[in-house]
C-alpha cells in the first residue's frame, strides 16, 4: 500500500541536524525521532524539535516499526550496521556518504535492498544541488560546451584539523577518497552523463605526517570514462586553502572553470576575448536539500535525484582509486550495483 506521508528519524546530529530541519519542513513528512549518543548535543537539538522523541539508542529508532524513513548521519564506521538494521526492518534509508567503508559491505547492502524489494536508499551527494553545478549541467545538456572530452575536479578539504584531531582520524579505517572524493566522482559522472571505467591513482601523507593518521591525506587519480573522455579526481585534505570544489570541464566548444569568486566560461581561444562570468551561487546549498525529493520519491512522486545506482557507482569509483593509490597500478571500476 502506498503511503501518503512519512514518519522519519535522524541518527547523528552534526550534519544530521540539517537533515532534521529539512524533514520537519516537508509537508508530508513528520520528524518523529532524533538520536545522538552525545546527550548534550541531543538535548540542544531536541529543544528545536520538541514534538520528536529523542534517544541515545540508535537501535531503538532503526528497529521501530512506527518509523518509515531513517537518515543516518553517524560516524562513517556506523553507517553499514545501521543501514543493514534499518533495511532489515523495512525502512527507507538516507545515509550520509560514504554509505559504507568496504566493498564487501556494499555488496551486503545491495543484497539486502534486493531481498527486501520495497525500501529505497539514497545518500547525501549534495553537490548535485549546488546552483553553480546545476547551471553547468544545464549548459552541457544544451550543447553549449560541445562534446565533453576532459573533466577535472578537486575536493580541497581545507579542514586538516578535523581529519587529524576529530573522529575521522581516530577510526580504525578512514579514506579521504571515500569521504571527500565520492562527491567529485559523483559530480564528474553526473556532469558527463557517463561512467568512469578505469582509474590510476597516487597518494601521499606528507601534510599530516607524524599525526598517526594511517592512510593517505592527499590522493590524485587520472580517470577514463566509458565514452572516451578523460579526467582527474583530486582529494586534498592537507591544503592550506579554504574548503573548495575545483572543477574544470573541457568541451569542444567551451571550457568551464569554477573559481572561488565566480566561474568562467571560455568560448574562444583568443586571449583578448573575456570569458563569460558565471556567478550562480556556490556552494549555495543547505545540507538537507536532497531530502524533499527523496521523501517525494518514497511517496511515489517521481525519482530521487540520487538513485541507488548513483550511490553505489560513485563509491565503486572510490574503491578503485583507493586500491590503485595503494597498489600503484591502474584499476578497472567494479560496478557492484550492476552485478546480479
Ligand atoms: N554530505 C555532506 O556534505 C556531509 C557533510 C558533513 C558530514 N557528512 C557526513 O555526515 C556524517 C557525520 O559527520 P558530521 O560532520 O556531522 O560529524 P559530527 O561529529 O559533527 O556529528 C556526528 C554526530 O553523530 C553522533 N553519532 C555518531 N555515531 C553515532 C551513533 N552510532 N549513534 C548515535 N549518535 C552517533 C555524534 O555524537 C555526533 O554528534 C559523516 O558520515 C560525514 O561524512 C556529510
Residues 131, 115 share a domain: no
pLDDT in tens, 256-302: 999 999 999 999 999 999 999 999 999 999 999 999 999 999 999 99
Q: Measured in angstroms, how far is the CA atom of residue 179 from the centroid of ligand 1? A: 12
What pLDDT score was predicted for residue 319? Answer: 98
Assess whether pLDDT exceeds 80 at residue 225: yes
- Distance, in Å, from the CA atom of 74 to the CA atom of 15, rounded to the nearest integer, reads 9
- Distance, in Å, from the CA atom of 138 to the CA atom of 105, rounded to the nearest integer, reads 35
Mean pLDDT computed over 238-257: 98
- Residue 308 lies inside a defined structural domain of this protein: no
Nearest atom of ligand 1 to the alpha carbon of 78 = 31
CATH code for position 322: 3.30.360.10
What pLDDT score was predicted for residue 1? Answer: 53
Radius of gyration of the chain from its Cα atoms, rounded to whole angstroms: 20
pLDDT in tens, 32-63: 999 999 999 999 999 999 999 999 999 999 99
Which residue, judged by its Cα, is nearest atom 9 of ligand 1? 96
Q: Measured in angstroms, how far is the CA atom of residue 194 from the centroid of ligand 1? A: 30
Q: Measured in angstroms, how far is the CA atom of residue 150 from the centroid of ligand 1? A: 34
What pLDDT score was predicted for residue 196? Answer: 98
Which residue, judged by its Cα, is nearest atom 17 of ligand 1? 14
CA angle, residues 191, 193, 197, in degrees to nearest 5: 105
Top mutation candidate among 96, 101, 182, 185 for ligand 1, by most atoms within 8 Å of CB: 96
Return the DSSP state at 226: T
- Counting Cα atoms < 13 Å in the Cβ hemisphere of 249 gives 31
- Residue 63 lies inside a defined structural domain of this protein: yes
The secondary element (H helix, E strand) that includes residue 151 is strand 148-156
Which residue, judged by its Cα, is nearest atom 23 of ligand 1? 12
Q: Measured in angstroms, how far is the CA atom of residue 97 from the centroid of ligand 1? A: 10
The secondary element (H helix, E strand) that includes residue 206 is none
* Residue 230 φ then ψ, to 5°: -110, 170
Residues 220, 323 share a domain: yes
The last residue of one of the domains, among 76, 94, 119, is: 119
Return the DSSP state at 236: E
Nearest atom of ligand 1 to the alpha carbon of 36 = 34
Instruction: Identify the band that residue 143 occupies on the pLDDT scale cut at 50, 70 and 90.
Output: very high
- Distance, in Å, from the CA atom of 224 to the CA atom of 178, rounded to the nearest integer, reads 19
Residues 181, 265 share a domain: yes
Q: Give the rounded percent of residues in the chain with a pLDDT score beyond 90.
A: 98
CA angle, residues 248, 251, 255, in degrees to nearest 5: 45
Assess whether pLDDT exceeds 60 at residue 316: yes
Assess whether pLDDT exceeds 90 at residue 88: yes
- Residue 59 lies inside a defined structural domain of this protein: yes
Grid look-up 549555495 returns 284
- Residue 304 lies inside a defined structural domain of this protein: no
Residues 175, 31 share a domain: no
Residues 157, 22 share a domain: no
Q: Measured in angstroms, how far is the CA atom of residue 16 from the centroid of ligand 1? A: 7
- Please tell me the total count of domains within the chain: 2
- Residue 298 lies inside a defined structural domain of this protein: no
Mean pLDDT computed over 317-329: 98
Which residue, judged by its Cα, is nearest atom 3 of ligand 1? 126
Q: Measured in angstroms, how far is the CA atom of residue 13 from the centroid of ligand 1? A: 7
Nearest atom of ligand 1 to the alpha carbon of 58 = 32
- Residue 103 lies inside a defined structural domain of this protein: yes
How far, rounded to the nearest angstrom, does the alpha carbon of residue 264 sit from its chain's CA centroid?
25
Give residue 214's region: left, alpha or beta (phi > 0; psi -120 to 50).
alpha
Angle between helix 131-141 and helix 182-192 axes, rounded to 10 deg: 30
Q: What does the mean pLDDT of the chain come to? A: 97
Which residue, judged by its Cα, is nearest atom 28 of ligand 1? 74
Pocket-forming residues, ligand 1, beta carbon under 6 Å: 11-15, 35-38, 41, 58, 73-76, 78, 96-97, 124, 126, 167, 179, 287
Range of the domain at 34: 6-119
- Distance, in Å, from the CA atom of 148 to the CA atom of 9, rounded to the nearest integer, reads 41
Assess whether pLDDT exceeds 60 at residue 214: yes
Parallel, antiparallel or unpaired: strands 196-204 and 331-332: antiparallel
Parallel, antiparallel or unpaired: strands 69-72 and 255-257: unpaired
Which residue, judged by its Cα, is nearest atom 29 of ligand 1? 74
Residues 110, 36 share a domain: yes
Residues 111, 135 share a domain: no
Mean pLDDT computed over 83-95: 98
Which residue, judged by its Cα, is nearest atom 43 of ligand 1? 97
How far, rounded to the nearest angstrom, does the alpha carbon of residue 298 sit from its chain's CA centroid?
19
Residues 69, 174 share a domain: no
| Secondary structure of residue 152 in the 3-state scheme | strand
The secondary element (H helix, E strand) that includes residue 10 is strand 6-11
Assess whether pLDDT exceeds 80 at residue 150: yes
Parallel, antiparallel or unpaired: strands 218-225 and 230-236: antiparallel
Residues 192, 57 share a domain: no
The secondary element (H helix, E strand) that includes residue 321 is helix 308-327
- Residue 244 lies inside a defined structural domain of this protein: yes
Top mutation candidate among 13, 42, 74 for ligand 1, by most atoms within 8 Å of CB: 74
Residues 227, 174 share a domain: yes
What pLDDT score was predicted for residue 117? Answer: 86
* Residue 143 φ then ψ, to 5°: 85, 10
* DSSP codes joined into one string, 54-112: EES-HHHHHT-TT-SEEEE-S-HHHHHHHHHHHHHTT-EEEEPSSS-SSHHHHHHHHHH
- Residues sharing a CB contact under 8 Å with residue 336, sequence separation 6 or more, in sequence order: 103, 106, 107, 110, 312, 316
Parallel, antiparallel or unpaired: strands 53-55 and 29-35: parallel
- Residues sharing a CB contact under 8 Å with residue 17, sequence separation 6 or more, in sequence order: 10, 45, 48
Which residue, judged by its Cα, is nearest atom 6 of ligand 1? 15
CATH code for position 66: 3.40.50.720
Residues 35, 138 share a domain: no
- Residue 37 lies inside a defined structural domain of this protein: yes
The last residue of one of the domains, among 80, 97, 119, is: 119
The last residue of one of the domains, among 67, 84, 119, is: 119
Q: Measured in angstroms, how far is the CA atom of residue 236 from the centroid of ligand 1? A: 20
Residues 156, 87 share a domain: no
Amino acid at each position: 500500500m502506498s503511503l501518503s506521508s512519512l514518519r522519519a528519524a535522524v541518527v547523528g546530529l552534526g550534519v544530521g541536524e540539517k537533515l532534521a530541519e529539512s524533514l520537519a519542513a516537508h509537508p508530508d513528512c513528520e520528524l518523529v525521532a532524533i538520536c545522538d549518543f552525545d546527550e548534550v548535543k541531543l538535548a540542544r537539538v531536541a529543544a528545536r524539535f520538541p514534538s520528536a522523541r529523542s534517544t541515545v539508542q540508535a537501535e531503538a529508532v532503526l528497529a521501530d516499526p512506527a518509523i518509515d524513513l531513517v537518515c543516518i548521519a553517524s560516524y562513517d564506521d556506523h553507517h553499514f550496521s545501521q543501514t543493514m538494521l534499518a533495511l532489515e526492518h523495512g525502512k527507507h534509508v538516507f545515509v550520509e556518504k560514504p554509505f559504507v567503508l568496504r566493498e564487501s559491505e556494499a555488496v551486503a547492502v545491495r543484497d539486502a535492498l534486493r531481498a527486501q524489494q520495497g525500501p529505497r536508499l539514497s545518500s547525501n551527494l549534495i553537490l548535485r544541488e549546488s546552483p553553480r553545478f546545476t547551471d553547468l549541467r544545464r549548459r552541457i545538456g544544451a550543447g553549449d560546451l560541445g562534446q565533453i572530452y576532459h573533466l577535472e575536479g578537486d575536493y580541497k578539504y581545507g579542514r586538516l584539523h578535523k581529519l587529524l584531531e576529530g573522529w575521522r582520524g581516530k577510526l580504525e579505517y578512514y579514506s579521504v577518497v571515500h569521504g571527500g572524493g565520492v562527491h567529485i566522482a559523483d559530480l564528474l559522472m553526473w556532469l558527463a552523463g557517463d561512467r568512469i571505467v578505469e582509474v590510476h591513482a597516487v597518494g601521499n601523507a606528507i601534510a599530516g605526517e607524524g599525526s598517526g593518521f594511517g592512510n593517505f591525506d592527499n590522493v590524485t587519480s587520472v580517470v577514463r570514462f566509458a565514452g572516451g573522455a578523460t579526467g582527474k579526481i583530486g582529494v586534498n585534505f592537507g591544503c592550506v586553502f579554504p574548503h573548495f570544489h575545483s572543477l574544470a570541464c573541457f568541451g569542444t566548444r567551451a571550457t568551464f572553470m569554477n573559481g572561488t569568486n565566480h566561474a568562467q566560461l571560455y568560448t574562444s581561444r583568443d586571449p583578448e576575448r573575456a570569458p563569460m562570468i558565471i556567478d550562480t551561487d556556490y556552494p549555495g546549498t543547505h545540507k538537507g536539500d536532497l531530502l524533499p525529493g527523496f521523501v517525494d520519491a518514497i511517496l511515489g512522486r517521481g525519482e530521487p535525484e540520487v538513485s541507488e545506482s548513483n550511490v553505489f557507482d560513485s563509491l565503486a569509483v572510490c574503491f578503485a582509486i583507493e586500491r590503485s593509490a595503494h597498489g600503484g597500478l591502474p584499476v578497472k571500476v567494479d560496478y557492484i550495483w550492476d552485478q546480479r
